[in-house]
Amino acid sequence: MVKVNEDYLKLRGSYLFSEIAKRVNAYSANNPDKKIIRLGIGDVTLPIASSITDALHAAVDEMAVKETFKGYAPDLGYEFLRKAISENDYKARGCQIEADEVFVSDGAKSDSGNIQEIFGKDNKVAVCDPVYPVYVDTNVMAGRSGDFDEATGQWKNLIYMPCDENNGFVAELPKEIPDIIYLCFPNNPTGAAITKDKLQEWVDFANKNGSVIIYDAAYEAYISEEGIPHSIYECEGARTCAIEIHSFSKNAGFTGVRLGYTVIPKDLVRDGVALRDLWARRHGTKYNGAPYIIQKAGEAVYSVEGQKQIKEQIAYYMNNASYILNGLKEAGFTVYGGVNAPYIWLKTPNNMDSWSFFDKLLNTANVVGTPGVGFGAHGEGYFRLTAFGDADATKEAVDRIKNM
Ligand code: MLT
């Protein structure tokens, strides 16, 4: 008799964004005349920039010609893209990351979910609370979470690091020493950024204790202020304690075409093993590489025209962020984020719980957002809006919320 993986049975309900989609679809089916504005999932709305789609078209044409056709991609990514990443995202910022420390993949969600596979089951995992649910759910699936405690809304074996108004939504170093620490800055969902000095404290803490930081930098392109690191490798000593994950989704609109990468420096050794080699082994066995045509599109992101065009797109989304931030402030909401990140994190009015506010917003303003509690117990009483919407729709959504 087949047995299923019982750790999967521990998972709570459905994935947050699937649950939201289910509720919105039900509302929409019952209210077909209502124009719903979706500021829930952080999905981009602008088309991919023309210099990037030109590269994509050219790569498709190469696939149609015997001499330039490509079969399987190298498991770890094409050299041209790994070099472009190493040069532009790292060396240009003074970080010594070599092309052979970069692993190209189909996106940051998969990498941040899969990376835990190279670690033993008994490692103690620390996550921020609230947190991007993928880090938690994949550790539940892997059997590291223990049981769910209904009273606290937390998993018994995970270390939770509360992020709230008192610490500016940047976690304090935990008292219990974790083996694996997930950090995401600029943060999803709170939109908070971490200063270089504060991140250096985390790097020192991890090196001192032999922990590994899994640093999700998916939103680094949205940093607008000085003193905020774009990469954890800007901190001294990060090569011996940090893995960094990046996405092409948020900076270049690749949510539908899929491309990301993970960096594991050769100096990152635990248990006598270079983690880079384990990840390479995992990639080699389970992955056939991101498609050539998508990697060519990724390379075009680093071209002069590509950089100019993606900066314009980021400015468009950050304009939405300012509109939401200022509009909600005017309406009397307490709001955070939206300066170095495309997310606005607001306190629900009158201590309303997050899902009640979700329902109220959907029913009265026909606007969809994300309930803070979906990101963890400390997200209760908060709500997230994304700046990735269409500009006119975003303005209309804010006006509707103001008139609620
Ligand atoms: C989010 O809305 O939190 C993100 O879009 C999810 C993701 O990037 O996977």
Supply the CATH number for residue 389's domain: 3.90.1150.10
| Cα first-last separation, the chain | 55
Residue 15 pLDDT: 78
Task: Determine the residue type at 80.
Answer: F
Paired strand residues for 154: 149
Q: Which of 201, 140, 211, 206 has its CA nearest to residue 170?
A: 201
> How far is the centre of ligand 1, averaged over its atoms, from the C-alpha of 344 (Å)?
14
Per DSSP, helices labelled H in 97-173 are 108-114, 133-141
Residues 100 and 235 grouped into a single domain:
yes
**Looking at the domain assignment, is residue 116 inside a domain?**
yes
Residues 72 and 188 grouped into a single domain:
yes
Q: Which of 184, 262, 197, 252 has its CA nearest to residue 228?
A: 197
Which residue CA neighbors atom 5 of ligand 1 most closely?
42
Q: Which atom of ligand 1 is nearest to the CA of 247?
A: 8
272, 303, 334 - which closes a domain: 303
pLDDT at 339 over 80: yes
Banded model confidence at residue 12, pLDDT cuts 50, 70, 90: confident
Provide the sign of the torsion angle of the four alpha carbons 293, 298, 299, 301, taken in this order. Answer: positive
Number of domains forming the structure of the chain: 2
253, 285, 303 - which closes a domain: 303
Q: Which atom of ligand 1 is nearest to the CA of 43?
A: 5
Q: Extract the tokens encoding 266.
A: 């050769």
Residues 86 and 156 grouped into a single domain:
yes
**Looking at the domain assignment, is residue 68 inside a domain?**
yes
Residue 280 pLDDT: 97
In sequence order, what are the residues at sequence separation of 6 or more whose Cβ sits closer than 8 angstroms to the Cβ of residue 321?
Answer: 337, 338, 339, 341, 342, 343, 344, 387
> How far is the centre of ligand 1, averaged over its atoms, from the C-alpha of 43 (Å)?
7
Residues 287 and 355 grouped into a single domain:
no
Q: Which atom of ligand 1 is nearest to the CA of 386?
A: 2
Q: Which atom of ligand 1 is nearest to the CA of 370?
A: 2
Element (H, E) at 273: strand 273-274
Residue 238 pLDDT: 98
Residues 298 and 319 grouped into a single domain:
no
Pocket test for ligand 1, best of 43, 110, 317 (most atoms within 8 A of CB): 43
Q: Are strands 343-347 and 382-386 parallel, antiparallel or unpaired?
A: antiparallel
**Quick check: bond before 130 cis, omega within 30?**
yes
Task: Determine the residue type at 353.
Answer: D
Residue 14 pLDDT: 77
Which of helix, strand or coil describes residue 336?
strand
Please give the average per-residue pLDDT across 195-216, as a whole number.
98
Pocket test for ligand 1, best of 15, 19, 105, 109 (most atoms within 8 A of CB): 109
> How far is the centre of ligand 1, averaged over its atoms, from the C-alpha of 225 (Å)?
23
Residues 37 and 81 grouped into a single domain:
no
> How far is the centre of ligand 1, averaged over its atoms, from the C-alpha of 361 (Å)?
20
Q: Which atom of ligand 1 is nearest to the CA of 188?
A: 3
Instruction: Determine how many CB atoms are found less than 10 A away from the CB of residue 161.
Output: 21
Residues 187 and 164 grouped into a single domain:
yes
> How far is the centre of ligand 1, averaged over its atoms, from the C-alpha of 188 (Å)?
8
> How far is the centre of ligand 1, averaged over its atoms, from the C-alpha of 234 (Å)?
25
pLDDT at 200 over 80: yes
What is the rounded CA–CA span in Å between residue 238 and residue 265?
9
Alpha-carbon distances, residue 9 vs 14, 110, 120, 143 (angstroms): 11, 20, 21, 11
Banded model confidence at residue 75, pLDDT cuts 50, 70, 90: confident
Residues 334 and 190 grouped into a single domain:
no
Which residue CA neighbors atom 9 of ligand 1 most closely?
109
Angle between helices 50-63 and 292-301 (to 10 degrees): 150
Provide the sign of the torsion angle of the four alpha carbons 354, 381, 396, 20, taken in this order. Answer: negative
Are 192 and 163 in contact by the 8 Å Cβ rule? The answer is yes
> How far is the centre of ligand 1, averaged over its atoms, from the C-alpha of 387 (Å)?
12
**Looking at the domain assignment, is residue 99 inside a domain?**
yes
Are 259 and 297 in contact by the 8 Å Cβ rule? The answer is yes
Q: pLDDT tens digits for 139-152?
A: 999 999 999 999 99
Residues 215 and 148 grouped into a single domain:
yes
What is the rounded CA–CA span in Å between residue 398 and residue 228?
28
Which of helix, strand or coil describes residue 194?
coil
> How far is the centre of ligand 1, averaged over its atoms, from the C-alpha of 261 (Å)?
16
Residues 280 and 349 grouped into a single domain:
no
Residues 92 and 149 grouped into a single domain:
yes
> How far is the centre of ligand 1, averaged over its atoms, from the C-alpha of 135 (Å)?
12
282, 303, 324 - which closes a domain: 303
Within 6 A (CB) of ligand 1 lie 41-43, 109, 132, 188
This model's pTM is above 0.85? yes
Q: Extract the tokens encoding 1.
A: 């008799």
Instruction: Determine how many CB atoms are found less than 10 A away from the CB of residue 172.
Output: 12
**Looking at the domain assignment, is residue 2 inside a domain?**
no
**Looking at the domain assignment, is residue 357 inside a domain?**
yes
CATH code of 297's domain? 3.40.640.10
Banded model confidence at residue 402, pLDDT cuts 50, 70, 90: very high
Residues 320 and 296 grouped into a single domain:
no
> How far is the centre of ligand 1, averaged over its atoms, from the C-alpha of 42 (Å)?
5
Pocket test for ligand 1, best of 15, 16, 17 (most atoms within 8 A of CB): 17
Q: Residue 359's domain spans which residues?
A: 8-46+305-402
Provide, rounded to the nearest whole percent, the portion of the chain with pLDDT above 70: 100
